[in-house]
Chain A
Amino acid sequence: MINIAAIEHYLPEKVLTNSDLEKEFPEWNAAKINAKIGIDVRHVAGENETSLDLAFKACQKLFKNYDKSNIDFILFCTQSPDYFLPTTACMLQDKLELPKKTGALDFNLGCSGFVYGLALAKGLISIGLAKNVLLVTAETYSKFLDKEDKSNRSIFGDAAAVTIVEKDDSKADFQFSVGTDGSGFENLIVKNGASRFGKSDDATLFMNGPEIFNFTIENIPGLVEDTLSKNSLTMEDIDLFVFHQANSYMLNYLRKKCKIPEDKFVIDMKNSGNTVSATIPIALESALRNGKIKSGSKVLIAGFGVGYSWAAGIIEF
């Protein structure tokens, strides 16, 4: 049904290392904490660098090996858009000089965004509105982080990933599984700056990490089971599991809880951190490069977080 034809990503130049954090917060055991969350470096967008800019640079890398004239639809997933309006995807169409017949829309999801994006791309392809979708997952959470918020500054990194989803009838028609629990909306939130609380310079991100962990423990093992059974597959049929790279401690626990063997489970966030909706494509891209994913590999992907929102699916490479 669909094929992932290409993936690229771009990380902003500026980096925040563990020793940078140690210097800023000498009383804090940054080394130990970062060993637990599995992150050495996170990249931070420059003051005038936005999600659109990161996405554009990722596209420039992508187009070295992919003919952009194939693209007929842009799906842009971000929670840190350049403007409330217009739509970031529209500006990207112009920047990339794609034809005016290109479809374009933004959607606002966090860590579940990439999987949702694939499902949406599949939908667009199924109804015949698109053949080659450019799925962008780009995020600059750093702009929402308080300078003093060492925990979230340790976890989140900025990035853009771009993925080409194309129609391919030689691939199996795998089904997606999604879920929502909006009752957890306040546990990962940027409260100020939008309509509910009006204008404010203080648009900072709040995350209740322990509650988010509880939510994943409660929902993700079931999501994996549901996705397998929907597709009449078992654990053994899957060659690789790529979950949203939230932090390595949480991932290791989820892996154990889902009973996934260690060698089939990807933890790959050391050099980029939790880049929200970009973590899965970044991890897929590196698994493709290092041969963990081969032609014919079946990969189960699962994204979960802010909303709460979660989604999983199976990709055949």
Chain B
Amino acid sequence: MNTQTFLEKLQDELEEDNTLTLETKFKELENYDSMSVLSLIAFIDESFDKSLDTKHFKDISTVQELMELIGSENFED
């Protein structure tokens, strides 16, 4: 997946009105709540067939860090 598509899909999944960037911090998002983690899990499973160890979730603050956790091999650019 390329980064732009990823950002758009992620925005959609998290039901955000504003465009996301690599620097966006999840906790600062308007609609981020306890259910958002479930959305992230579903999105990453569906798009990358990958299950994320939720222990790592609390260390993630930005979109960039989430992408690193998914693994750079999953991004084309």
Contact = CB atoms under 8 A, between A and B. Distances in A.
B33 A250 contact: no
A250 B45 CA distance: 13
A214 interface: yes
A37 B41 contact: no
B51 A37 contact: no
Interface in A226-250: 249-250
A32 interface: yes
Interface string A213-229: 11001100000000000
Interface stretch (A111-119, A190-198, A203-211): A203-211
A210 B57 contact: yes
Interface string B15-34: 00000000000000001011
B51 A250 contact: no
A210 B37 contact: yes
A209 B35 CA distance: 9
A217 B41 contact: yes
A38 to B, nearest CB: 11
B35 A211 contact: no
Nearest to B43: A253
Q: How large is the interface on A (under 10, 10 to 19, 20 to 34, 35 or more residues)?
A: 10 to 19
B54 A208 contact: yes
Nearest to A218: B51
A214 B34 contact: no
A223 B38 CA distance: 21
B42 interface: yes
Contacts of B57: 210
A208 B54 CA distance: 9
B34 A250 contact: no
A213 B35 CA distance: 11
Contacts of B42: 213, 217, 249, 253
A214 B52 CA distance: 8
Given A214-B51, A217-B45, A32 B38 contact: no
A21 B55 CA distance: 28
Contacts of A29: 33
A210 B33 contact: no
A70 interface: no
A37 B52 CA distance: 21
In order of increasing CB-CB distance, the 6 nearest A-B pairs are A210-B54, A253-B42, A210-B37, A36-B35, A211-B54, A214-B51
Interface of B: 31, 33-35, 37-39, 41-42, 45-46, 51-52, 54, 57
12 contacts: A29-B33, A209-B34, A209-B38, A210-B41, A210-B54, A213-B38, A214-B41, A214-B54, A217-B41, A249-B38, A253-B42, A256-B46
